[in-house]
Amino acid sequence: MTATEARPEAGQRKAPQIVEMSWDPITRIIGNLGIYTKIDFANREVTECHSTSSLFRGYSVFMKGKDPRDAGFITSRICGICGDNHTTCSDYAQQMAYGIKPPPLAEHIVNLGEAAEYMFDHTIFQDNMVFVDFCEAMVRATNPGVLARAERTAAPRGHIHGHRTIADIMRAFNPFEGAVYKEALQVSRITREMFCLMEGRHVHPSTLYPGGVGTMPSPTAFTDYLSRLLRVTDFIKTSVAMNDDVFDFFYEALPGYEEVGRRRILLGCWGAWQNPDVCDYRYETMDQWGRAMYVTPGIVVDGELVTNSLVDINLGMRILLGSSFYEDWTNEEPFVRHDPLGNPVDMRHPWNQTTLPEPQKRDFAGNYSWVMSPRWYHAASGQHLALDTGGGPLARLWSTALNGLVDTPYIKATGHSVRISLPRSERLPEMTLEWQIPRWSNTLERDRARPYFVAYAAAMAFDFLDRAMGRVRAGDTRIFTDFEVPDEAIGCGFHEAVRGVLSHHLVIKDKKIANYHPYPPTPWNASPRDGFGTPGPYEDAVQGQPVFEENGPEDFKGVDIMRTVRSFDPCLPCGVHMYLGNGKVLQTRHSPVYGETHG
């Protein structure tokens, strides 16, 4: 059963004019993602889409036999973009396995580092990559009629961001020359400095460990972080206003644009930022401390909150092979039969997965990707749901809003929205922003959510600073809890990488890693069709969407398709792996110490 909702027919259909088009590699990300489509230019819609990944790496293979204490340092190298998210999540899994809890101040430092990472990554992606698809130069090339209207349309929030028309905002995002494009690069530099103050090195942290941190909790470090946070707060406030103006304009200028990238509301969020007053990392209490996170975990199906239980989320995970280049492992002996609460663990759960690569020729009628098909088993319906992350922010905000549990001096979840309060900054007054649950899970709403979550991260950073400085003033400067590696244990960590759900599952035997599986957001979003025929989220969102670009097949840019794929914040390093099987030696070379030409 597919996840796709039937899209409404619009008037009398014409005889199809099908053209096959592909974008491989997708630009502005690492070059392993390909999108292959069939487009009906007569009826202006995408009729078919396949998402492919062309590289295999295999962290789950070479993690076996390693010292589990090294897992955070190794898995951070999965990605050169969000490696710190992997380190953090790995530490969470290890802390469960070792039965330890870091001191509260260490948790606040980790939370501050992760908040800075969200601000850094979302800003550079939204303003320097996503908005290239909405900038004046791109709109002129693909929808000149829309640009003409943008020149005549006043920007409703110009009193906040300072731009007179929608076209002025679009010009500000022109690559390399637009004012906002260039300012975003500066903001990314500042937020990266904030990250390094807490986690030591970007993007592979040098001061995060299971049990705590190595960051010295000096008042100077927190003050330096705060001064930088205040420097970027004006930009964050104006960014939300500019994005709202542009995305509202697209809905008005192109009736029906809500269908671009729209798919059934199937959102997953694993939660972010631990609350040290509640979190003890015990699996037996995981539901309680999961609900106490400052981003609330949840699975949202058709707009309804299905569960916010991390135990349910964990047990429902299934890794299906579908159309991927792997052999099945389900006839092997399981690593974990029951979780610590006695619940049975499925053979397709990450705790029990074995990665068995099977390289082969790409075949869209068969197997065509190195990405597997993670799914969440919905027991009530008996379906394996192809959850997506909404690019990260959409699922985080939607789940947090519906749960209505987060209530801090800066963030309030209301059940239908999230209110974000930012203090007075250099130019703009104190401001309360409110993200409302939208009508659709589509391209524009994924992109709209991103600047709101930058504001959310900034607001929580102010809160974490207050809590950290309170600990220091009270004389509680402990930042590490000692531990021993057990002979046998299991652990799981749940976190939000920048672009969405992140989990690490660990099995220890004889003090070594017996099995280890990280599942970041891109395998969920970029997954191919599974064994039930369900397309992955990229495929589902693109397939069936209308085409609004004014160009014909000869000079077609595919801007609506690119906007949709990029709205998920694609990042393929974590979706692909490395194959170390038998190969052909092309050249063997030895270079002496002083160089091969010396002497």
Task: Dump strand ranges (E) for 348-461.
Answer: 373-378, 383-385, 411-413, 417-422, 431-436
Amino acid identity of 397? L
Its pTM surpasses 0.85: yes
Amino acid identity of 448? R
Segments of the chain with pLDDT less than 50:
1-8, 575-599
Interatomic CA distance for residues 59 and 13, integer angstroms = 48
How high is the pLDDT of residue 60?
A: 85
* Token pair 């707060």 in the structure block, residue: 233
Residue 76 neighbours by CB under 8 Å, 6+ apart: 83, 84, 86, 87, 90, 203, 204, 205
How high is the pLDDT of residue 38?
A: 98
Q: How far is CA 91 from CA 76, 120, 478, in A?
A: 11, 22, 17
Pairing of β 304-307 and β 411-413: unpaired
Q: How many CA atoms lie within 13 A of 147 on its CB side?
A: 17
Residue 386 neighbours by CB under 8 Å, 6+ apart: 3, 266, 373, 375, 524, 527, 530, 534, 535, 536, 537, 540
Q: Kindly state the tokens that stand for 157.
A: 């929030």
| Burial letters 137-169, b for 16+ CB under 10 A, else e | bbbbebbeebbebbeebebebbebbbbebbbbb
Interatomic CA distance for residues 123 and 188, integer angstroms = 7
Q: Kindly state the tokens that stand for 480.
A: 């590490």
DSSP labels, 147-206? HHHHHHSB-TTHHHH--SBHHHHHHHTSTTTSHHHHHHHHHHHHHHHHHHHHHSSSSS-S
Q: What is the torsional sign of CA 409, 126, 528, 335?
A: negative
Residues at the annotated binding site for Mg(2+)? Answer: 577
Query: Which H or E element spans position 40?
Result: strand 33-40
DSSP conformation class of 56: B
Write a three-state SS string for 263-296: CCCEEEECCECCCCCCCCCCHHHHHHHHHCCCEC
* Sequence ranges of the domains in the chain: 18-568
Cis peptide before 203 (omega within 30 of 0): yes
Residues at the annotated binding site? Answer: 79, 82, 571, 574, 577
Q: How far is CA 76 from CA 35, 96, 215, 479, 530, in A?
A: 27, 19, 18, 21, 28
Cα radius of gyration (the chain): 24
Residue 441 neighbours by CB under 8 Å, 6+ apart: 262, 263, 264, 265, 266, 267, 388, 390, 394
How high is the pLDDT of residue 583?
A: 45
DSSP labels, 458-520? HHHHHHHHHHHHHHHHTT----B------SEEEEEEEEEETTEEEEEEEEEETTEEEEEEEE-
Q: How far is CA 316 from CA 296, 390, 461, in A?
A: 18, 19, 32
269 φ/ψ angles, rounded to the nearest 5 degrees: -135, 130
Cis peptide before 25 (omega within 30 of 0): yes
Residues at the annotated binding site for Fe cation? Answer: 82, 574
DSSP labels, 527-552? ----TT-PPPHHHHHHTT-B------
3-class SS at 575? coil
Q: 238-258, pLDDT tens digit by residue?
A: 999 999 999 999 999 999 999
Q: Kindly state the tokens that stand for 356.
A: 């068995």
Q: How many CA atoms lie within 13 A of 296 on its CB side?
A: 29
Of 1.10.10.10, 3.40.50.300, 1.10.645.10, 1.10.3720.10, which CATH number belongs to 18-568?
1.10.645.10
Pick from 452, 446, 413, 416: nearest CA to 431: 452
3-class SS at 567? helix
Cβ distance 257 to 444 under 8 Å?
yes
Overall size of the chain counted in residues: 599
3-class SS at 55? coil
How high is the pLDDT of residue 10?
A: 53
Cβ distance 184 to 273 under 8 Å?
no
Exposed (0-12), middle (13-18) or buried (19+): which is 360, by Cβ within 10 Å? exposed
How high is the pLDDT of residue 580?
A: 37
Q: How far is CA 583 from CA 317, 369, 371, in A?
A: 34, 20, 21
Residues at the annotated binding site for Ni(2+)? Answer: 79, 82, 571
3-class SS at 369? strand
How high is the pLDDT of residue 31?
A: 66
